[in-house]
Structure formats: structure tokens, C-alpha cells
Amino acid sequence: MSRWEQLFKNVQQDFKLFLFILGVICLFRGGFIGILHEYLSESTTYKDIFMSLYYGTRLSLKSAGIITLFSFVLCTLANIVVKSPKVQNIRLGVGCFYVTILSILFQVRIPYYEQFHTVFSVFIFNTFKDDTVALFYTLVQQYHLIARLGVAFLIAVLLCWLLKFLLNTKTFQLPQFLTRNQKIAFRVSLVMSIAIFILFTRFGGSLTYGNGISWESAAKSKDEFLNEAILDDVQALYRAYSINAKLKSGKDLNITTEQILEYGNYLAGHTVQTKNIEDFLKKEAQGARIKKPRHIFLIVGESYAEWPLLPQYKDLNLANGLKSIITQSNALYIPAFLPASISTMTAVNSIVTGFPEINLSPNYQAESYKAPYATSFATQMKNLGYKTYFWYGGFSSWQRLEDFALAQGFDQFYGCSDLQNQEGNAWGSEDKYFLKAISDMIKDEEPTFHVILTTSNHPPYTVNLQNENFDGEIINSGLPGKLKSDQEWINKLGHFWYADKVLTDFVQTTYKKYPDSLFIVTGDHGDRVNLETNPPLYERYAVPLVLYGQGVTKELLPDKSAGSHIDIMPTLFELIAPAGFSYYSVGESLTTAKSLGINDQLWITPEKIGRLGSGTVEALSSEPASTEMPAMEKIKQDITAKRGIAWWRITRGKSIE
């Protein structure tokens, strides 16, 4: 067999592989939409679904083309040189490997979307820094990892058999031509067809980049679920990789020395002549508004979202504890509040350092361990005379949390293994035992500041709720019809009920013991458990901010306030610090009639919430909201400046050179 005959035969085999892989990806896409069809919005039509399938197929030309390129290089081109038939086995091998990976990813993408409402976000890169043992335990217990892998391998075996059958089907023989010119014309046409095919797949069904499709331009639907369905697993992973790379390199911020000066002066509100970036963040307290508390507790509740506090969910009785605190005269509640991002560690990073989330994981950055940042919460609280403690219901090695907290100025760190009588699971202690241990260890010898991070409201949901006198009927009565008596849902929501109950017990017991205390309660993130498959942005992402204790009144902060995690620290300083006290913060105090909160994905005002980088804007409630829109350029300027300053300080240090 001549080399041209080998080429012609192998190209056909490559094309079979390409069509097979493309078909598998499209089949998985259809399965994803079918299995999770309840996530489709009510206004979505069949036309929208077909459009997503069309654009998804175009995008998946790239994903199918990747393995086809490997086959072309390793088999087709290699077979021209090495005429052994064994070379053909490589094609089957790479094809089987690819469909196995695709089968596993398909089984992973379903629970991933149910949990995070997206497909393989940038936060998957944080997985490799997480507690892998606890994570594995959770995947097995809560998300049935072993069973899902079993199904994936069964599907992969079937697909590999089908691929082998397809590759064993006959191919066309190389056409025989009578003249030399005809042979040359055919060969040129064959090579040109290969080149055009490569371009066509590379650009997603087009011969030019401008008319093609990529993950960046794939959001063609008004339905967010369908936009995620358009991305196959390979493209979704590539999206996560690309965003992660851009954020770490700072390319999306386009940071230069001149821009850092511009960002700094914007945040300072006036021109600052300096080469030290932290000088831009220096502020002076206007004078204490309440008597300086002897003890301050900042409690960050695991997955303590805003939505269970809303009136429409009152019959679920999930947050009765915190709601009872909010109604008291010495409590203040800020409902328009955002977490730093969508994960626990991003909340911790922002609260500890005072920086917004920029996907740099400061808990792993060398700069974080040289000295505390000027914006460090613990260091600045020590300047006010407080001894600082960080309490974590999990294990201290998780995400280097103990090392990070101590490096950023906390005097003491305690994880669950440092405390007595701890019961729980692979993630740590049950909140009841964890919070009791804190109560037992607190002494009234000196002013103290405590950051407390709980863990129980997190999968796997292993708290024995019956032992906590939990009656599922108090939740079941408020569930929608499709979820009534669904024990899995009752157990999930029961853990929220439990976390709220023991948190409230801790606050009330501690306040009774130390009435000169101030409690600040928030959640680390929302976006985990929602009754609605497509909840509004506010219900999906928002977390509460509650102030309770000595000196707090309903009038302590302006009526219309909005903020995020980075605003907690400056708010506290403006409440308790004497006039002229110097502090550093990227965020702003809620005492200043601040009406805008931002994080890495969203913005919020007392009436509206929107997604950055899109036109999505929603009201916080069903009540009529003002038609006036926030100045989007101002929001963009605000987040860009804050993220830019944080990126420079974490990656390059204090100096602006």
C-alpha cells in the first residue's frame, strides 16, 4: 500500500473518530439537559433548547478536534512512515481514553451543577489545596462517588466497544486516476481539505475567528442553565483554566504602575504622593458610636445564606434563632449584603486580609507570610487593645488556615483537634461541641476579638438531628409540593436549622455571661442549597449581616445600607474606635450611608442586585423598587480599583516601582 493510500485510509479513520467523539459529547449534552431539565427557566422554549444544542455542537467541534489531532499525528502521519498495522491500535487507545474521561466528567458535572449552578468553575483549582481526605469522604457519602464512577466506566466500556466496531468498518479505496494531473489535483484537494477541516473545527464551525465560537462567546441563550449546557466538559475545564490563568497573571486587570497610582488615588478620594501602596488605604476613624465592647465575636456561619430569613420562607422555620435576635432592640440587620465570593476560603481570605477576592489564594502566597498586611483585621484589632483569636470547627491544616491566620496577626488559633469533646465528621467538629468548647475557654481577663468559623451546615450531613430534638414536620410544612416528605431535603435543611439553633444558643449564652460584648454574624457564602432550581440572584448569593449586643440600636447605621465582607472591618472601626484612630481598609464603613456592595461576581444596592459583566439586574424583593439604575461605570471603576490594589499588594508587595 502506497503512502497516499495509507494517508487516505487513515484520514477516513480519523474522521470516524471525530464524528464518534462529537456524537458522544452531543449525547452527553442532551443527557445533561434532560436530567437537569428542572433548572430550565419557565420562559425557556424548545427553540431556545435547539439553539443551545446547535451552538453547543459547534463549540464541541473543538473538543472533538483535539483528540482527532492526536490521532492524526500519532496514527495517520506515523503510519506513512511506519507501515505496521499496530499503529492503528493507537487510534483506538486514545479514543477509548478520551471517552472514558468524558464519561467520568459527565457523571461529575451533574452534581457539580446541582451544587454550584455552573459547570467546572475556576474554583476547581482550589480543590487541589483542599482537605483531600475530607473531600473524598464527602464525595463518597453525599454524592455517591463510587456509584457514579461505576456508571461512568460501564458507559465508557460500551462506548469503547462501539468505537472499536466503527473503526473496523470498511473505508473507501484511494481513487485511481489515469493522468498525472488528476492525481496531483486529488492529492492537493485532499491536503487542502485536511487544512480547511482543521480550521473549521478550530474556530467552532467557521473558517475565521470572528465568525466562530469559543467559551467566551458561547453564552447565546437568555437561560443561564442552557448557557452552561452549551459548554461541554472539555470547554468548561478550558474556561476555568483560562480564567484562572488570567486572574493570576493580572492580564484582565491590565495593571501598570500608572494605573496602580490611579486606582490608589481613587480609593483614597484624593491625591496621595507615595511609593507605598498601603498609604492609599489609610483612613481615620470619626469617633466611637458605641461604648468599646470588652469582647467582640465575628461569627462566620458555614453556608449561612440570606434566603431562609426572607418572609416567603418563614414556614420552613430554618432561621428562627437568628430572626429572634434580629427582632431585639439591641440588634441591627443588613439584608443587602454579599459574601466575598462563593466559597468558604475566599470569605476567610477577605475577612482576614481585608482584600476582595481576586482568585490569588493569599493563604498560599509568599507575601502573606512575610508580615501582616496593613489591612489585616487581627493586627488592627490589636492596635485597639484586643487579644485576637481565630476558632475553626475543622482541622487547622485545612487550606493552611492556622499558618495563615497566625501570619496575619492572630495571637491564637484553635481548630477542632485543639478542643475537648469534639464529635463530627471528616470536615471537623459538630457546631454544638465546637461552640461549647469556645465558651468554656473564653476568659474575662482582657478585651478579646474572636473570629469563629463553623462547619456543620456542610455535606456530608452527618449530625444526628433526632438527638437535637429536630422535628422534620416543622420544615416539611413549608416545603413545596414536589419536596414534601423528601427525607434528603429535610435532612439538608435540618442541618441549617441545627446550625442556626446552636449559633443562636452560643450568642445568647455568651451575651448573658458577658453583657459588654458585641456579636457580628454573617455567612461565608450562599449558593449551595436553594428550594428553587433557578433562584433569583439575591436568594442564591446573598448572606446576612447582623450586629447584636452592647450599644447596638436599629438606628446605629443608615436605613439604606449595602455592603460585602470587606466592609465589616471598617464598619467595626467606625463604631468603636476613638476619633483619629488610623486604620487601613479596602472596604468602606456602612456608617457612611454606603449603598453599594460588591464582590468578584456581583453588585448589590438596598433595592437591586446585578451580575458584573452582564446586563442582569434584579430586584431584591417582590416589592416595587426604584427604577433608577446604579451607575454601572462607577461600579466597574470601584471593583477594578479594589481588585487592582489587592492584586499588586499580594503579588508584588508594598512598593510601587
Strands (E), 285-326: 295-301
Which of 56, 98, 51, 50 shows the shortest CA–CA distance to 205? Answer: 56
Domains and CATH numbers, the chain: 3-247 (no CATH), 257-652 (3.40.720.10)
Tell whether omega for the bond before 356 is within 30 degrees of 0, i.e. cis. no
Give the β-pairing of 563-564 and 337-338: parallel
Helix, coil or strand: residue 269: coil
Q: pLDDT at position 3, please?
A: 82
Q: 3-state SS string over 491-505? A: HHHHHHHHHHHHHHH
Q: pLDDT at position 176, please?
A: 85
What is the rounded CA–CA span in Å between residue 616 and residue 543?
Answer: 19
Q: pLDDT at position 492, please?
A: 93
If one counts every other C-beta atom within 10 angstroms of the C-beta of residue 329, the result is 7
CA distances from 519 to 160, 386, 393, 448 (A): 59, 15, 18, 12
DSSP 3-state percent helix, strand, coil across the chain (nearest 5): 55, 10, 35
555, 331 contact by CB (below 8 A) = no
DSSP code per residue over 386-409:
-EEEEEESS-TTGGGHHHHHHHTT
449, 389 contact by CB (below 8 A) = yes
| Segment (H or E) for 99 | helix 88-116
Whether pTM exceeds 0.95: no
| Segment (H or E) for 72 | none
Residues of the chain below pLDDT 70: 1, 123, 126-140, 143, 210, 246-254, 421-422, 622-627
Q: pLDDT at position 444, please?
A: 81
C-alpha cell at 341: 465570593
What is the rounded CA–CA span in Å between residue 309 and residue 561?
Answer: 17
Give the CA diameter of the chain: 102
The angle, 0 to 180 degrees and rounded to 10, between the axes of the packed helices 632-652 and 257-268 is 120
